[in-house]
């Protein structure tokens, strides 16, 4: 018999016993029978009392469970809010550090006129992952201008609106930059190209040109594009091929565009620069 059915049965037994006692109380045998009946139903009363206490405890446990669940939900929400606040604090700290670094670079490189901008987002145009910056034509930004991050080349301005611009990262497959590799043995001209994997290659290197691992790669200033001397990266491997007259080199970029938050656009040279 289930717990609920047992409790109903016991309750019915008590009701019947109470009726019998009431009838007997009106007769002469009331006291003796009443004592006997009370002794007989004592276990039933105890069982009902225990069942009642158990039910009350179950109800209390259920209420406490709901309270604990509500407390846990409130704690989880508080933890999520604290994590979000911590992430915002870290992002703000990184942005402030990038701004300070940009100001330091501008102070140390007075030959360029630099315009500081913030990366407002990212977009995909013709399979190119471009950066969207919060500076545009009204600030003097023009298509083709070099974009720096941390003092190194990050990309080139691709398109401009009045208040914003799209920047093609240097690692993009459409990025081509005239460059020179500098080392103790001399300089080597080449072209830095991006590829679909986000890597950089220095191409069209003459077979007898001096080139070793560790050479610094900078912009050459040729072709009327970027000014000379903007850092790009370092040579990490050199390749030769029987099918190709020219050699190639793998270049590790100084800038990882996916981590960039603050950039500087080279809008020109300072009036005092040669």
Tell me: pLDDT of 212 over 60: yes
The pLDDT of residue 136 is 95
Q: Are residues 117 and 228 in the same domain?
A: yes
Distance CA 274, CA 80 (A): 55
Considering only CA atoms, which of 158, 175, 154 is closest in space to residue 167? 158
The pLDDT of residue 91 is 44
Q: Are residues 129 and 245 in the same domain?
A: yes
Residue 274 lies in a domain: no
**C-alpha 180 chain-centroid distance:** 36
Distance CA 233, CA 248 (A): 15
In this prediction the pTM is 0.61
Q: How many domains does the chain have?
A: 2
Q: Are residues 104 and 171 in the same domain?
A: no
* The last residue of a domain, from among 57, 90, 108: 108
Distance CA 238, CA 199 (A): 14
Tell me: pLDDT of 204 over 70: yes
Task: Please indicate whether residue 80 or residue 184 has the higher confidence score (pLDDT).
Answer: 184
Q: Are residues 240 and 215 in the same domain?
A: yes
Determine the 3-state secondary structure of 38 from DSSP: helix
The pLDDT of residue 75 is 76
Task: Please indicate whether residue 208 or residue 43 has the higher confidence score (pLDDT).
Answer: 208
Task: Please indicate whether residue 58 or residue 109 has the higher confidence score (pLDDT).
Answer: 58
* The last residue of a domain, from among 108, 134, 153: 108
Q: Are residues 130 and 264 in the same domain?
A: yes
> What's the mean per-residue pLDDT of the chain?
76
The pLDDT of residue 15 is 67
Q: Does residue 144 contact residue 120 with C-beta atoms inside 8 Å?
A: no
The pLDDT of residue 102 is 46
Give residue 140's domain range: 112-269
* The last residue of a domain, from among 81, 108, 135: 108
pLDDT band for 17, please (50, 70, 90 cuts). low
Residue 86 lies in a domain: yes
Q: Which residues contact 220 (CB under 8 A, 6 or more apart)?
A: 178, 179, 180, 189, 228
Determine the 3-state secondary structure of 223 from DSSP: helix
Tell me: pLDDT of 219 over 90: yes
Residue 69 lies in a domain: yes
- Across residues 234-254, what is the average pLDDT? 89
Q: Are residues 58 and 129 in the same domain?
A: no
The pLDDT of residue 242 is 75
Pairing of strands 128-133, 165-169: antiparallel
Q: Are residues 18 and 50 in the same domain?
A: yes
Residue 129 lies in a domain: yes
Question: How confident is the model over 152-173, as pLDDT tens digits?
Answer: 999 999 999 999 999 999 998 8
The pLDDT of residue 95 is 47
The pLDDT of residue 94 is 47
Residue 190 lies in a domain: yes
Residue 103 lies in a domain: yes
pLDDT band for 86, please (50, 70, 90 cuts). low
pLDDT band for 54, please (50, 70, 90 cuts). low
Q: Are residues 91 and 200 in the same domain?
A: no
Q: Are residues 95 and 154 in the same domain?
A: no
Q: Are residues 66 and 155 in the same domain?
A: no
Tell me: pLDDT of 273 over 60: no
Q: Are residues 143 and 226 in the same domain?
A: yes
Q: Are residues 142 and 245 in the same domain?
A: yes
User: CATH number for the domain including 175?
Assistant: 2.40.10.350
- Across residues 191-206, what is the average pLDDT? 88
């Amino acid at each position: 018999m289930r717990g609920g059915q047992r409790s109903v049965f016991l309750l019915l037994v008590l009701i019947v016993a109470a009726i019998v006692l009431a009838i007997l109380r009106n007769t002469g045998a009331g006291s003796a029978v009443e004592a006997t009946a009370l002794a007989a139903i004592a276990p039933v009363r105890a069982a009902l009392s225990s069942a009642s206490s158990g039910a009350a405890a179950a109800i209390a446990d259920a209420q406490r469970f709901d309270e604990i669940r509500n407390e846990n939900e409130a704690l989880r929400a508080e933890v999520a809010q604290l994590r979000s606040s911590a992430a915002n604090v870290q992002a703000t700290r990184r942005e402030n550090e990038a701004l300070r670094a940009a100001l330091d670079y501008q102070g140390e490189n007075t030959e360029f006129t630099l315009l500081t901008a913030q990366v407002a987002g990212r977009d995909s145009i013709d399979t190119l992952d471009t950066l969207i910056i919060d500076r545009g034509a009204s600030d003097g930004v023009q298509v083709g201008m070099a974009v720096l991050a941390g003092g190194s080349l990050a990309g080139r301005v691709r398109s401009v609106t009045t208040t914003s611009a799209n920047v093609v990262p240097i690692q993009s497959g459409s990025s081509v930059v005239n460059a020179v590799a500098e080392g103790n043995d001399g300089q080597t001209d080449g072209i830095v190209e991006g590829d679909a994997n986000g890597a950089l290659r220095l191409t069209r290197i003459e077979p007898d040109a001096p080139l070793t691992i560790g050479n610094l790669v900078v912009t050459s200033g040729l072709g009327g594009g970027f000014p000379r001397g903007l850092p790009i990266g370092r040579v990490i491997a050199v390749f030769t091929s029987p099918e190709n007259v020219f050699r190639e080199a793998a270049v590790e970029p100084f800038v990882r565009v996916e981590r960039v938050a603050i950039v500087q656009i080279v809008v020109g040279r300072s009036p005092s620069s040669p």
